[in-house]
Chain A
Amino acid sequence: MKTLIPYPTLDGEIVLEVKEARLDGKPLSLTLISSMEQVVALHQVERNDWERARIVLRMRTPQELMSDEWVDVACAAVLTEKKTNVRLVTPLKRQSDNSWIGVAELHRDWHVGQAEVEGIVTATVADVQGRVIARTRRRWTVDLHLRTPTRKRTIRTVWKDFSSEENVYLHPYKGDPWAIEAADDEPVVYLNSGFEGLQFLLDSASRSDRAVQNAVAGQIAGDCWAALFNTAVYSIDVEDGEPQWPVGWKESVLRRMLPDVYPDRSPDDALVELCERRRQGESGGELQTRVLHAATKQARMSRSLSVFIRTLRTVEEEK
Chain B
Amino acid sequence: MTDVERPERLALLPDAAVAGHLTVGVRTGAEKLPQAALAKACLPLDASSRWEAPRVRDLVDEAMRRFADLPTKADAWLAPRLHAGLRMTRREASDGRLWNFLALRLAPDYVFWRHPGRPSVEKPVPEVSSGRFRGAFHTQAFARLWWAAELFRNGDDYEPVEVACGNQDMLNTTLRLEIVHHRPTAQAIIQMLSRQTIRVGREVNALAKAVNTAGSTLMYEIIACDEVQDADAYRCWIEEIDTVYMPYDSLPEGPDDIRVPEAVVEALIPTFEKLYTEAPVRGRDKRTTV
A and B touch in the complex (CB under 8 A): yes
Residues of A within 8 A of B (CB): 5-7, 51-52, 74, 76, 78, 80, 83-87, 89, 91, 105, 107-112, 120, 122, 128-132, 181, 183-184, 237, 239
Tell me if A84 and B90 are in contact (CB < 8 A): yes
Question: Across the interface, which residues of A come within 8 angstroms of B137, CB to CB?
Answer: 85
A184 x B91 contact (CB < 8 A): no
Contact with A along B111-143 (1 / 0, CB 8 A): 000000000000000000000000011000000
On chain B, the residues within 8 Å of A89 by CB distance are 182, 219, 221-222, 225
Of residues 87 to 114 in B, which have CB atoms within 8 Å of A's CB atoms?
89-91, 93-96
B47 at the interface (CB under 8 A from A): no
List the B side residues contacting A76 at CB < 8 Å. Answer: 219, 221-222
Q: Do A112 and B222 touch (CB < 8 A)? A: no
B196 contacts the other chain (Cβ, under 8 Å)?
Answer: no
> Which of B89, B136, B222 has the most A CB atoms < 10 Å from its CB?
B222
Contacts of A78 in B (CB 8 A): 221
A6 to B216: give the CA distance in the assembly, Å: 11
Closest to A123 in B: B222
- Identify 26 residue pairs between A and B in the complex whose beta-carbon atoms are under 8 Å apart, listed by A's number: A6-B217, A7-B217, A74-B222, A76-B219, A76-B222, A83-B94, A85-B137, A85-B151, A85-B181, A86-B90, A87-B221, A89-B221, A89-B222, A89-B225, A108-B91, A109-B89, A109-B234, A110-B89, A110-B231, A112-B95, A122-B219, A130-B223, A183-B14, A183-B15, A183-B16, A184-B15
| CA–CA, A78 and B221, complex, Å | 10
Given contacts A85-B137, A87-B181, A183-B15, contact A109 B218 (CB under 8 A): no
A109 touches B91 (CB 8 A): yes
Residues of B within 8 A of A51 (CB): 231
Interface of B (DSSP majority class): helix
Q: 13 extra interchain contacts, Cβ-Cβ under 8 A, other than A6-B217, A84-B93, A107-B231?
A: A85-B147, A105-B228, A108-B91, A110-B89, A120-B219, A122-B219, A122-B222, A128-B218, A129-B222, A130-B220, A181-B16, A183-B16, A237-B136
Q: How many A-B contacts are there with CB distance less than 8 Å?
A: 80
Please name the 7 residue pairs, one residue from A and one from B, whose CB atoms are nearest each other, closest first.
A87-B181, A109-B89, A89-B221, A107-B231, A130-B222, A130-B223, A84-B90
